Amino acid sequence: MKYLIIIATTLLSFASNALQVNSEIRHPLSTYLGVWEWQNGNEVFRVRLRVDPKNNMNFVGHYEKVSVDANGNETFIYNSNKEVFAGNNKAWAPFVIFGGGFIDNTVDQSKYHPLKNGSLKFEILTATPGNITARWHVFRRDGGETDDDAPEFSVPTDVILTKVN
């Protein structure tokens, strides 16, 4: 019995150390939350992430693309958060970024289903204060239903975002 207790204590110690190592490798949720941007000329692709109200260990969010004029005024090119537009906010999902999933609800809706599902890999690259960057990689899901005739995603599919707040 004495040896069993020693073995159990040793195994628990290893498990505790493994959890600490894993938590050091991963970034705290607060690193992901906030506003992220990628700029291409006068267009800015922006991602807004917040805590998932159903699972406070995960994030959810929306994305948008704006055009910025010489005076800094922004005009929407698209926005996944339909609630920001008066009269267009019924029956839309409360967020389109969730876990490893992604919904593109900004594809051309005149010919295709208004939603294009995919997977999202959001990987923190640098996490020093004042310089936090992440790789945004969206891709079609393997398996399941896909509409091969549908256009590609309307969002950038592989860019480096910078956290702006």
Please list the rounded mean pLDDT of every run of 10 residues in the chain (165 residues): 33 30 60 96 96 90 96 94 69 78 78 74 92 92 54 87 96
pLDDT at 33: 95
pLDDT at 107: 75
pLDDT at 75: 96
pLDDT at 88: 60
pLDDT at 149: 55
In degrees and rounded to multiples of 5, residue 62 shows phi and psi of -135, 170
Alpha-carbon gap, residue 150 to 165, rounded angstroms: 34
pLDDT at 8: 31
In degrees and rounded to multiples of 5, residue 37 shows phi and psi of -140, 150
pLDDT at 144: 47
- The rounded Cα 44 to chain-centroid distance in angstroms is 16
Nearest partner of 44 among 33, 35, 55, judged by Cα: 35
Q: Which two tokens stand for residue 143?
A: 């398996």
Rounded to whole angstroms, what are the CA distances from 122 to 16, 27, 37, 73, 92? 27, 12, 13, 28, 23
Contact 133, 153 (CB under 8 A): no
Alpha-carbon gap, residue 70 to 54, rounded angstroms: 41
pLDDT at 152: 77
pLDDT at 129: 86
